[in-house]
Structure 1
C-alpha cells in the first residue's frame, strides 16, 4: 500500500513547529520469527494524585555556588537529619538541581543552613595564614545554604498518558522524575553514573588494560515508552576507568616506563589534572603539579608568635616540613614534583608518594590503538552472556526495594519482552557477465565472480614506506587477482622505496620527499595527473602518522586517487578486497542491486530520486575542542543507487546540526552543501530530482525537532534557491546506532538474530513511526540493530516498501562483501568525515609548538579536494 499526500499541505507544516510524524501501519513482509528484547515490562498501579518538582540551589556560606560533584547528596542527607522538611518523606534527588516528592513541602520557597563535618589533614601551601588556620584545626566543617523552591505540580496521570503516546506539557518532566528515581537508587549503592549507565567497583566487573586504565562493565537502565506500555530498558555498558592506587604506579604504567626518573612530567600534569586523590584520609581534586621537586619547593611556614605577639615564619621545603613536623620520612618522591590540589595562586601541595588515586574515576583521554583493541575485545559479549549479565544486573539493582517505586505502585517484571520479528529476504545482486546471485547469511564473495564495471588502470605506481612488504609478491598477486575479477591493470610504472635514512623525519617531510621521487620519474603534462593511482604501503595499519599527510597531498594538492595498505599477509582474499576499493574509487562498480539494474526499485526507479546521507563527526574522546566535521553524501547517476559523491565541511566544535547546508549570501564560491550536490545530481542524471530521501545519523530524540525545523528547512531553501519553481517531495529518516535495545532469538539464545531482521511492534514507540533493523550478520558479540525513525514523509512509503528500501541500501556498500549494519549513504558519510578529519589532525601535529597552543592553531576551514577527485568515491 502506498500513500498519496498533498505536498503543499505537508510543506506548510514546516513553517510551524513540526513534530515527528505518526505511524501509518505495520510491515508484513518477511518470515516471522519469535524474539526476546531487553525491555522489562513495568506495571503502574497508581495514577491518581500528584508528584511535585522542586529546584535545589546549593551555595557556600559566602554565596559562591557549589560546583563539586557528589556534595549535593551529602548535603541533602544531612538536611534530612537536621530538619523535618524531608524527614520520613519519600523523595527522589538527582544529586544536582532537581528534587521530586509525592507530597507537597507546603512552601513555595524554603532556605536551610546545613553544616557538614569533615576530617581534614594539614595541607601545605604558600599562604602562611591559611596554613596556620588549617593546622590549628584537625577537624573542620563546611556550611552550606540550601534553597528549595517549588517548580511544578504534576498529575501522576501524565505518566499514564505517556504510556499511550500522548505527549503533554509535562511529558518530559514525568520521565525525568522516573529516571531520577533510578539515579538515586544507583547512588545509594555507590555507583559511578555516566548518563543513564551505572558502574560498581566490584572487581568481577573490572579488567586491567595497558597504560594504567581499566575496562569496567556496568549496566544501562532507563524507562521507555513502547506500544506495550512502559518498559525498563536494561543493557550492558562499558566504560574506562583510571586504575586506583599510588599515583606514581599509575604514571609508570600510563607512560610505559620502568623507573620514576623516566616519567615525562609535562605529560603527567595533563594526565593527572582533575583526577581525585586520597592523602591522609582526605579526598582532593588535582589541579596541577609544583614547578620544583619536593626537595626544593619552598613555602612560608608560620610557627607561632614571639613575645610581642608578632607572627614568626620562615621558608621551609615540603620535604623538610614533612620530616620535621609530620615525622614522615619521604623516600622515592623527593626528586619529583608535588601534587597541587589548591588554586594556581594559592597552591596546596602533597608529596607524590603520599597520594593514591581513588576508585571509579572515568578515563577520558584518547586511546592508543592497542588499548582500543583491548577495549573492543572486553566489550564484546555473546548473546547468551549478555542475557545472563542483564538478568544479573536487574536482580542486583534491587528496584523492588526502592521506596519511591513502591510508593508509585511500580513493579518491574523479571522476564524479557517477547516480540514478533520478521526476516526480510536479501536483495539479489548482479555482477559481471550478467551473473545474478542471492547473498546468504548477509554475505557473499567474489571468488568466482567478476566486477560488473571494472576499470582499466594503465598508469600507476607503488610508493613504499614499509620495509616489511614484499613488493614483488604484491605485484604478482595484484596481476593475478585483477585478471580474475576482469580488471585490466598494467604492471606498475615504478616502485618507489623510501630511503631508510629518512624514516625519523616528520611525516610531512617524508611525504614531500617521496613525491619528489615520484614527480622526477613520472613526468606528465601540467593539466594531467601523474598517474591514475598511487598505491601506498604504510608501515602500520592503524594510526599511522603518514596516512593523513599522504592523503592530503594526493587528494588536495595533486588530484590523484590513492589506496593505502599495510598488509600483514598477502593472499587472494586480501588483494580482492583492496581491488574492490580501488575499482570504486576510480569510477568502476563492483556490483549492483538487480532491481537497480532493471530500474524496478519501488518509488525510486520511475521518479528521479536523490538519496542523501548526513553525519557529523566530533573530536575523539579527550579532544573536546576539536572542530566538528559535517559530511553529506548523495547518490548520482540516477536511476542508479550505488554511486555517491561526498561533500565535507568543518563547523563549530560539538555542534550536531549541520551548519553549511544552505548559504544564501556568500562572498566565496561556496553556496552550500546542498546546492553542490543538486548540481552534481542534475549533471550526472540529466534531470532534477523530484524526490529527495534524507538519512540522518547521530541525533538523539531530543534533537529530532531541530533536524525537522532547521536542517530540513535549510535543504528546502537550498532547493528553492536552485530553482524557485521546483518543489520536490521529501522523506526524512533518522538512523540511530547509539541505543541500548538488543534482540535475542527465543529458541536459540546462543545465536545472533538473522540478517534482515526487522521489528516494528511491541517495544517500538506507541505513536511515532519507528522500527529496528538488523541488516547485518553479527559474527562477534551481540548484534546491535539500527533504530530508524521516519520523521517526515511526503513521498508516501508504506511500511513494507520503506523497510525493504532501507534493507536494500545495506547491500550497496562497494568496499564490502557483507551487508552492513546501517544504510550505505550514512556509512559513506561517516567514512568521508573520518578521512578528511586526518587533514586537520596532522595540520595540528605539524603546526603546534606546544599543547597550550592547541585551540588557536586549529584550522577553521578544510582544504577543498582537487577537482579531479572531488566527484570520486575517494572515501571507499
Structure 2
C-alpha cells in the first residue's frame, strides 16, 4: 500500500498537560448528549423543509406481526410487488376476520396494525387472479413453452398463496422511538406504492414526463419526493424534499440499446454489454400486452432459432424459426428482427424468446449501472432547483398528498402542518486569512481571490516539463500563459526544460502503453531531479489516460504532476491550476490568521492533530475493493498542511479496518502509525495530546459501531508507539447525504449566507448535533452539512467547536471559496478518489463489473518522494 512508517518507537514524550483519565473508563460506543448551544454570530430568521406533526392519540400502540407468504409449491414469495398485492387481497377478503384493522405492510416480513388483531397467530389462504400468456414462443432446445395441448393468446388463472401472521412486538406511539417512526414511514411508502410510484427507500417517483430530464445514453433523471418522519428538539416533524433517481427511458428496447451504446445501427450493438444492462428489467410484449422479465439474449439470430411446432393434435411437429413463427404462424409483422438476437424472458433452465421489436421497456425502472462523468454532470445540472422553486414543489406536495387522511394516520390522530418550520439561526463571521507576505485577507460572502495578490508561500519551479496527449493543444502557449499568471501570484516558474508531444503512432494504443511510451520520452529529455510535470490530456472527465498516468508519476517515479484539459485558458482557470501546483510541490497558498498567531481555541498550547477520514466505494454493480483514506495534520500548530494514508478493504465495507495493524503479526502498523510518526517529526518531536477526528460517510445507525471500532484502533496505534497517557479525542461525523434544507425566511430567492449555523429546533432531541452551511450557494439550493459530535473528551464549548469547524472550511488549499465541508474530509475524499483510479484501471479495462472482479490485495506503494506531500490536491 502506501508508504510504511519507520518501525522504531517514538522516544519518550516530553511532559504533556494533564490528560483526563476518564477517557479510559468511558464507553467508547456511548454517544454523548448535547452540552448546550452556541450564541456567537449574527441572528437570522430561517425556514426548514420540516413540517410540524401533532399526534392526538399518543396512547395508541402499533402491533407488529411477522409475515410469511408461500405459494402453492410451498416456496416463499420474495417479490415485494407481488407481496403487496397479496396483502391487499388479504384485507379485501378477510376484513371482518381482521376486525376491520387497516394494515401497514413493508413488502417483506413486517406488518403493523393500530391495536391488536383478534389472535396472535393467524393463517389465511389468499387467491390472486392474474393474467398470463400461454407463450407461443419456444425454447432453444426444441420444446414448447407452456401447454402444448391448447393455445390461447390470453387467459386467466388463479393462484393460491398461504399468508401467516404471528405477533412479534408492541410499538407504543407515545415513545416516538425509531421503531414508531419507522411504522409511520411505512404508511407513507404504502400510500405511494398504492399510487403506482417507484419506491427508492424513503423517496417515491411518479410516471410523469414533466419530472423527466434526459441525461444521455438512453437514461433520464427522474424527479420525485423524499418524505420521512423525524423526531427533533421541537417535536415530531415530517421532512420533505425533492429527490432524484435515474431510470431507463421507457419504450422500444432497440431504441434504448442504440442510445445506451451510442451506435447508429443495431448490428453494432455489443450484446454482452446489453445483457448486463438489461438483465431483470421488465418489458411488455406488444403483440399480447403481457409483461416479462429479461434474462438475456439468444445466442442465435431470430431467423436461425428453431423449435418444433405441433400444428394439430395428430400432426407431426415441424421445425420452424422464431421469426417464421411470428410472421407466418402468428401473422405478426417484423421489419428488422430477422438477423438480431431475441430477448430471453424465460427461466434459466427453460428460455423463452421474443423478437426485439415486439418488446417495450416498462416505465419507472431504475438504472443501477455506473453513470459516465458526462451523465453525472448532466444529472447534477438538471436536478438543481433554486430555493424558491424547491419550496414551491414541497409545499404543494404536502398539500396534494394529504397524508393525514390515510386511515392508519387517522387512527393515530396524526395531523401535519402545511407550513415550513420557522426557526432561528446564526451567521458566523468568516475567519481572517493570511496571504502573500503576511497580508491580511478578509473573505467576502465566503470568497476571496489572488487578483494582484501573492500566494503566502510560493515555491519556485526551475526544472519542469510539459507533456501532451491532446492534438488540440499548443504547449508553447500553455507554458507561456501559466508562467505569466504565476508571476502575478509571486510564484517564479522558469521556462520548461522540455515540451513533449505524443507520437502520432501511439495514439491508437492501450492507455498503459501510451503512458509508458511517454515516460520513455520524458526520461530521455529531462534530468532525474525534475521538480514537476504538467500533463495535457484530451478530456478531463473521461480520459482513460488519467489513472495510468497518475500511477506512473506517483508510484514509479515520485514526480508531482498536474493534469489539465484546457478549454478556456483564462486567468481564473490558470489561477486554480497554480493553487494545485503550488500545494503539490510543497507551497502554502493561504493560512488562517489564527494559525500564524497560535490563537486557535483549545489548540494553541496543546499539541493537537486533526484527522479527516473517508471511504470510497466502487460504482454500483462493481466489485472492486473500497479505498479507505485518512489525512492527518502536520507542522503543529498549523491546521492547513496534511498528508494522507490509504488502504484497500473489502468492497462496500464502510468501517475502516486498517487504522491499526500490529507489526508483530506481519502488519505494517496501520494508517494511524504513519500519520502519528509524521506528526511527531514535523511538530518539534511532540506527540499529539489531543486528536480531533472528522469522519465522513457514516449513517446514524452506524454511529456506535464506528466509534467503537475506529477509536479503539486509534488508541492501540498510539499505545504501540510508546508509553504515555492516551490523547483526548473529539470524534465528529459529517453528513452531506441528508434531506434537510435551510431557506431565508424573508427572501426565498437567495440561499442562506455562508457561515449559517442551526443548533436548535430541527436538531436531535438529545444528541449533540448541528447544521452548518459554510459555503456560498450560487446554483441550486445549498445543502448544509449535518455535524454529529459523538465524543468530546477535549471539552469544546459549542461556540468554539462551531468556529473551529467553520474555520476549517476556509483551509482548502486548492480553493478560493469556503468549502461546504471541512478541508480534512475534503482531502480524504480526494485521496481516496485518486487512489481508486489505480484500482479502476488495474486491468486496463477502465470499467469493472461483478462478472469481471479484480483480485487486488493492496494498493501500489506511493514513492517516498510523494507519500508525505499533498499529492491529492
Secondary structure of the residue that 1:132 maps to in structure 2? Answer: coil
Does 2:228 correspond to 1:222?
A: yes
Does 2:291 correspond to 1:283?
A: yes
Query: After superposition, what is the alpha-carbon deviation per residue over 1:776-823, rounded to whole angstroms, capped at 9, x for unaligned?
Result: 000110000000000000000010000000000000000000000000
Aligned counterparts of 1:664 and 1:35: Cα–Cα separation in 2: 50
Which residue in 1 is equivalent to 2:668? 670
Which residue in 2 is equivalent to 1:101? 113
Normalised to the residue count of structure 1, the TM-score between the two structures is 0.94
| Structure 2, gaps ≥5 residues long | 1-16
Residue 690 of structure 1 deviates from its aligned partner by: 0.1
Secondary structure of the residue that 1:844 maps to in structure 2? Answer: coil
Change (3 A) 1:134 1:246: farther
Which residue in 1 is equivalent to 2:543? 544
Aligned counterparts of 2:157 and 2:320: Cα–Cα separation in 1: 25
Does 2:15 correspond to 1:11?
A: no
Aligned counterparts of 2:632 and 2:592: Cα–Cα separation in 1: 17
Secondary structure of the residue that 2:21 maps to in structure 1? Answer: helix
Aligned counterparts of 2:661 and 2:617: Cα–Cα separation in 1: 22
When structure 1 is superposed on structure 2, of 103-112 and 241-250 the one drifting more is 103-112
Aligned partners of 2:144 and 2:308 also within 8 Å: no
Out of 450, 463, 477, the residue aligned to residue 459 of structure 1 is 463
Aligned counterparts of 2:849 and 2:450: Cα–Cα separation in 1: 48
Does 2:636 correspond to 1:638?
A: yes
Change (3 A) 1:336 1:217: same
Which residue in 1 is equivalent to 2:6? none
Aligned counterparts of 1:198 and 1:224: Cα–Cα separation in 2: 18
Which residue in 2 is equivalent to 1:132? 147
State the number of aligned residues. 848
Change (3 A) 1:556 1:215: same
Out of 214, 218, 228, the residue aligned to residue 212 of structure 1 is 218
Does 2:166 correspond to 1:149?
A: yes
Aligned counterparts of 2:778 and 2:253: Cα–Cα separation in 1: 40
Residue 142 of structure 1 deviates from its aligned partner by: 2.4
Aligned positions of 1:398-547 closer than 5 A: 398-524=402-528, 530-547=529-546
Residue 457 of structure 1 deviates from its aligned partner by: 1.2
Aligned counterparts of 2:298 and 2:149: Cα–Cα separation in 1: 20
Which residue in 2 is equivalent to 1:167? none
Residue 572 of structure 1 deviates from its aligned partner by: 2.0
Aligned counterparts of 2:429 and 2:849: Cα–Cα separation in 1: 53
Which residue in 2 is equivalent to 1:873? 870
Aligned counterparts of 1:324 and 1:464: Cα–Cα separation in 2: 60
Aligned counterparts of 2:276 and 2:851: Cα–Cα separation in 1: 14
Query: After superposition, what is the alpha-carbon deviation per residue over 1:385-421, rounded to whole angstroms, capped at 9, x for unaligned?
Result: 1111111221222213211111100000000101111
Aligned counterparts of 2:580 and 2:472: Cα–Cα separation in 1: 23
Residue 469 of structure 1 deviates from its aligned partner by: 1.7
Out of 295, 302, 314, the residue aligned to residue 294 of structure 1 is 302
Query: After superposition, what is the alpha-carbon deviation per residue over 1:225-283, rounded to whole angstroms, capped at 9, x for unaligned?
Result: 11110000000001111111111121122222233233222222222111101112222
Secondary structure of the residue that 1:570 maps to in structure 2? Answer: coil
Aligned partners of 1:5 and 1:794 also within 8 Å: no
When structure 1 is superposed on structure 2, of 27-36 and 708-717 the one drifting more is 708-717
Aligned counterparts of 2:384 and 2:672: Cα–Cα separation in 1: 39
Residue 665 of structure 1 deviates from its aligned partner by: 5.1
Aligned counterparts of 1:462 and 1:258: Cα–Cα separation in 2: 38
Aligned partners of 2:323 and 2:337 also within 8 Å: no
Aligned partners of 1:844 and 1:854 also within 8 Å: no
Change (3 A) 1:181 1:846: closer
Aligned counterparts of 1:666 and 1:236: Cα–Cα separation in 2: 52
Out of 240, 260, 263, the residue aligned to residue 266 of structure 2 is 260
Aligned counterparts of 2:401 and 2:775: Cα–Cα separation in 1: 33
Aligned partners of 1:461 and 1:492 also within 8 Å: yes
Query: After superposition, what is the alpha-carbon deviation per residue over 1:435-490, rounded to whole angstroms, capped at 9, x for unaligned?
Result: 10110000000012111111121211111111222222222222222222222222
Residue 721 of structure 1 deviates from its aligned partner by: 1.6
Secondary structure of the residue that 1:125 maps to in structure 2? Answer: coil
Aligned counterparts of 2:552 and 2:742: Cα–Cα separation in 1: 45
Aligned positions of 1:47-126 closer than 5 A: 47-83=58-94, 84-86=96-98, 88-123=100-135, 124-126=137-139
Secondary structure of the residue that 1:508 maps to in structure 2? Answer: helix
Aligned counterparts of 2:337 and 2:261: Cα–Cα separation in 1: 17
Secondary structure of the residue that 1:481 maps to in structure 2? Answer: helix
Aligned partners of 1:108 and 1:149 also within 8 Å: yes
Residue 430 of structure 1 deviates from its aligned partner by: 0.5
Residue 130 of structure 1 deviates from its aligned partner by: 4.8
Change (3 A) 1:134 1:459: farther
Aligned partners of 1:26 and 1:760 also within 8 Å: yes
Aligned partners of 1:288 and 1:339 also within 8 Å: yes
Aligned partners of 2:691 and 2:729 also within 8 Å: yes
Does 2:229 correspond to 1:231?
A: no
Which residue in 2 is equivalent to 1:163? none
Does 2:213 correspond to 1:196?
A: no
Aligned partners of 2:55 and 2:413 also within 8 Å: yes
- The Cα RMSD (Å) is 1.9
Aligned positions of 1:243-258 closer than 5 A: 243-258=249-264
Change (3 A) 1:134 1:805: farther
Normalised to the residue count of structure 2, the TM-score between the two structures is 0.94
Which residue in 1 is equivalent to 2:187? 181
Secondary structure of the residue that 2:645 maps to in structure 1? Answer: strand
Change (3 A) 1:575 1:521: same
Residue 114 of structure 1 deviates from its aligned partner by: 1.7
Change (3 A) 1:822 1:782: same
Change (3 A) 1:134 1:506: farther
Secondary structure of the residue that 1:95 maps to in structure 2? Answer: coil
Which residue in 1 is equivalent to 2:50? 39
Aligned counterparts of 1:806 and 1:480: Cα–Cα separation in 2: 36
Residue 322 of structure 1 deviates from its aligned partner by: 2.2
When structure 1 is superposed on structure 2, of 276-285 and 740-749 the one drifting more is 276-285
Residue 133 of structure 1 deviates from its aligned partner by: 5.7
Change (3 A) 1:134 1:635: farther
